[in-house]
Amino acid sequence: MMARSMADLLAILAQRVREALDRAFGESARQADPQIRPAQNPKFGDYQINAAMSLAKVLKSQPRQVAQQLVDALELDDWAEPPQIAGPGFINITLRDEALGKLAGELAADERLGLAHTDQPQTVVVDYSSPNVAKEMHVGHLRSTVIGDAIARTLELLGHRVVRQNHIGDWGTQFGMLIENLIETFSDDALMGMSFDIGDLNNFYKAAKQKFDTNLGFADRSRKRVVALQSGDAETVELWRTLYVKSLEHFDRTYDRLNVSFDPGDGDIRGESFYNDKLPGVIEALDRAGLLQTSEGAAVVYPEGFVGRDGEPLAMIVRKSDGGFLYATTDLAAVRYRVNELQARRVIYVTDARQKQHFSMVFKTAEMAGWVEESVHLEHVPFGTILGEDNKPFKTRSGETVKLEDLLDEAESRAAAIVAEKNPDLTEDERQRVAQVVGIGAIKYADLSNDRIKDYVFSWDRMLSMEGNTAPYLQYAYTRIRSIFRKAEVEAESLGGQAVTVSHPAERALVLKIAQWPDVVGQVAVALEPHRLCNWLYDLAVAYSAFYEHCPVIRADDEPTRRSRLALCDLTCRVLKQGLHLLGIDVLERM
């Protein structure tokens, strides 16, 4: 539910329809969904009300007759031409130009561009990014990081209390060999003073693994290290921490470049290790709930509704026969922490679609154990795989996983080359800044604009193109509007309170598009699909460019028209900026 804003067109129209439903069919019909949405085809006006069809069924009446009664009761003269009934009972609404002009003025005067705060703020946990310690972030973490960040920003803008949780993989048996390797690679002094450089985390991991596989003595020491770590041996824990801190430095660099923020002081980084001492409690609680069973020495649960290929109930192991805990156990502890301590009412997990079953089983188990009330929603937000041009999972030429840092470097250098060619007048500093904003923006946008659940092909040429649904296209649209203000020698701020007149069809189309902003943001918050916002921003930029083509701004016929159109330019500019901001993408005054 959303509170209403004076400038939220859809909310205003929906409210009018509800009042008419009440007048025509009584209090009970007021609860009916007004089913009002922007018309797909301008032939059918600007908005369409489709409530008559379903209402006719309830009222056991003719849809067209219901539509007529609804139209008779509808008080919309201040906004629209008389509504038209079409087909089986669609009601078409065409807004008046004066009303659209007035609306544009109100949107321009509103810092939030018509977007109200939710009237039901919730605490929402968003679990995203979640790379693994002692491994470099790779291309697989890109999606979780940017989608999760966009979701967090969107919910925050709506007024929810968002708690970011970076569920870093920082615990497990592999730390035995990593810590042993640390001891064998660096001197004590370097280790304790933190004055050593792990360098490439992946190579460090590989070297440890290689030793583990080939050197029996090392393997044996590594296993003992695991036991020491788990029993809390002070020196071992200290070394573990060293590894953790070094990895975090690496993650932070990447987050910085991606314009993604986790506040470590605020408890946003809650890796698997954080739950370590809560794991025995999980097992006890499962036992108390009567869910714990044993299978070949391991402790397991059987979440309802899961069967294996053999048709037998599927077990989720929560403690191995050697006493070790698993990924699932940690996630069960995390559910309890998030619901009880963080007081989350909605918990959102942004990971690869391949973890779907894992989360379904965890959620089901938590529900069966009675850890989540019905009002609490646990949601897995899956996403597809990034593919190379060969349609196979994206890899380097030598077949290795692509490091995220390398990808960001390449994005910036490719963007720099394009900028140097397109705009040779920029200073070196400016060029660097533009390359960074455009390059990183392009990568993020390419990811966010693809239907979240689908796989997509990673293509430099497409994402860096100035044409089509890309970040550079949107950033350029923004920059172009800013340059109009420089040419016109008008400060956007001086347009405060400027009346807007709408007469040309391209002006109407632009205002109608902008007026959808609150609805689009609301949709992203429900479906958790940032690509909806991307598609809409692209449509907006296209509507703007049609407006710009048909409606002279600086050379408008008269001063009031010029100022009115400048106000529309500024409004578009602000919406573009806000929209890109929700996606974590910057804009530029010049590019």
Please count the other Cβ atoms lying within 10 Å of the Cβ belonging to residue 488. 16
Q: Pick between residue 346 and residue 532 the one whose CB is nearest to ligand ARG.
A: 346
Interface region with ligand ARG, contact rule CB under 6 A, candidates 20-28, 127-135, 538-546, 548-556:
127-135
Q: Pick between residue 405 and residue 539 the one whose CB is nearest to ligand ARG.
A: 405
Cα 382 to Cα 141, 327, 351, 500, 527: the distances in Å are 13, 18, 5, 43, 12
Smallest distance, ligand ARG to C-beta of residue 326, A: 11
Taking CB under 6 A as the rule, does residue 46 contact ligand ARG?
no
Interface region with ligand ARG, contact rule CB under 6 A, candidates 13-21, 125-133, 192-200, 510-518:
125-133
Contacts of residue 474, defined as CB under 8 A and 6 or more positions apart, other chains included, come to 445, 537, 538, 541, 576, 580, 585
Taking CB under 6 A as the rule, does residue 273 contact ligand ARG?
no
Taking CB under 6 A as the rule, does residue 469 contact ligand ARG?
no
Q: Which one-letter amino acid corresponds to residue 468?
A: G
Smallest distance, ligand ARG to C-beta of residue 317, A: 15
Q: State how beta strands 298-301 and 293-295 pair.
A: antiparallel
Interface region with ligand ARG, contact rule CB under 6 A, candidates 17-25, 128-136, 147-155, 462-470:
128-136
Q: For residue 175, which phi and psi values (nearest 5 degrees)?
A: -70, -20
Q: Pick between residue 108 and residue 126 the one whose CB is nearest to ligand ARG.
A: 126
Interface region with ligand ARG, contact rule CB under 6 A, candidates 85-93, 123-131, 260-268, 377-385:
123-131
Asked if 182 contacts 242 with a C-beta cutoff of 8 angstroms, the reply is yes
Interface region with ligand ARG, contact rule CB under 6 A, candidates 124-132, 392-400, 445-453, 514-522:
124-132
Smallest distance, ligand ARG to C-beta of residue 327, A: 7
Smallest distance, ligand ARG to C-beta of residue 178, A: 16
Asked if 415 contacts 439 with a C-beta cutoff of 8 angstroms, the reply is yes
Taking CB under 6 A as the rule, does residue 408 contact ligand ARG?
no
* One residue of 143, 160, 167, 577 binding ligand ARG per CB under 6 A: 167
Taking CB under 6 A as the rule, does residue 170 contact ligand ARG?
no
Q: Pick between residue 330 and residue 475 the one whose CB is nearest to ligand ARG.
A: 330
Smallest distance, ligand ARG to C-beta of residue 283, A: 18
Half-sphere exposure of 129 (CA within 13 A, CB side): 27
Taking CB under 6 A as the rule, does residue 334 contact ligand ARG?
yes
Smallest distance, ligand ARG to C-beta of residue 426, A: 39
For the chain, helix, strand, coil in percent to 5 are: 55, 10, 30
- Which x/- pattern over 201-240 shows residues binding ligand ARG (rule: CB under 6 A)? ----------------------------------------
* One residue of 105, 114, 169, 176 binding ligand ARG per CB under 6 A: 169
Q: Which 297-326 residues touch ligand ARG, going by CB under 6 A? A: none
Q: At what angle do helices 234-258 and 174-185 cross, to 10 degrees?
A: 100
Please count the other Cβ atoms lying within 10 Å of the Cβ belonging to residue 136. 22
* One residue of 181, 236, 259, 351 binding ligand ARG per CB under 6 A: 351
Interface region with ligand ARG, contact rule CB under 6 A, candidates 126-134, 230-238, 419-427, 519-527:
126-134
Half-sphere exposure of 65 (CA within 13 A, CB side): 7
Q: Pick between residue 130 and residue 273 the one whose CB is nearest to ligand ARG.
A: 130
Q: What is the rounded radius of gyration, in angstroms, for the C-alpha atoms of the chain? A: 28
Closest by CA position to 575, among listed 560, 587, 561: 587
**CA 404, CA 581: separation in Å to the nearest integer?**
22
Taking CB under 6 A as the rule, does residue 331 contact ligand ARG?
yes
3-state secondary structure 198-266: CCCHHHHHHHHHHHHHHCHHHHHHHHHHHHHHHCCCHHHHHHHHHHHHHHHHHHHHHHHHHCCCCCHHH
Taking CB under 6 A as the rule, does residue 349 contact ligand ARG?
yes
Q: Pick between residue 362 and residue 587 the one whose CB is nearest to ligand ARG.
A: 362
Taking CB under 6 A as the rule, does residue 446 contact ligand ARG?
no
Smallest distance, ligand ARG to C-beta of residue 127, A: 5
* Dihedral (Cα; 409, 411, 417, 420), 10-degree rounding: -100
* Residues shown for the chain: 591
Closest by CA position to 70, among listed 146, 7, 19, 4: 19
Both structure tokens of 36 = 């009002």
Number of residues that bind ligand ARG (CB under 6 A): 10
Smallest distance, ligand ARG to C-beta of residue 560, A: 56
Smallest distance, ligand ARG to C-beta of residue 282, A: 14
**CA 145, CA 64: separation in Å to the nearest integer?**
49
Q: Pick between residue 16 and residue 143 the one whose CB is nearest to ligand ARG.
A: 143
Cα 230 to the center of its chain, rounded Å? 36
Taking CB under 6 A as the rule, does residue 130 contact ligand ARG?
yes
Closest by CA position to 536, among listed 547, 548, 518, 520: 520
Q: E-assigned strands of 296-342? A: 298-301, 316-319
* One residue of 106, 127, 136, 529 binding ligand ARG per CB under 6 A: 127
Taking CB under 6 A as the rule, does residue 132 contact ligand ARG?
yes
Cα 128 to Cα 163, 209, 252, 464, 561: the distances in Å are 11, 27, 14, 26, 47
Give the interface with ligand ARG as residue ranges (CB under 6 A).
Answer: 127, 130-132, 167, 169, 331, 334, 349, 351
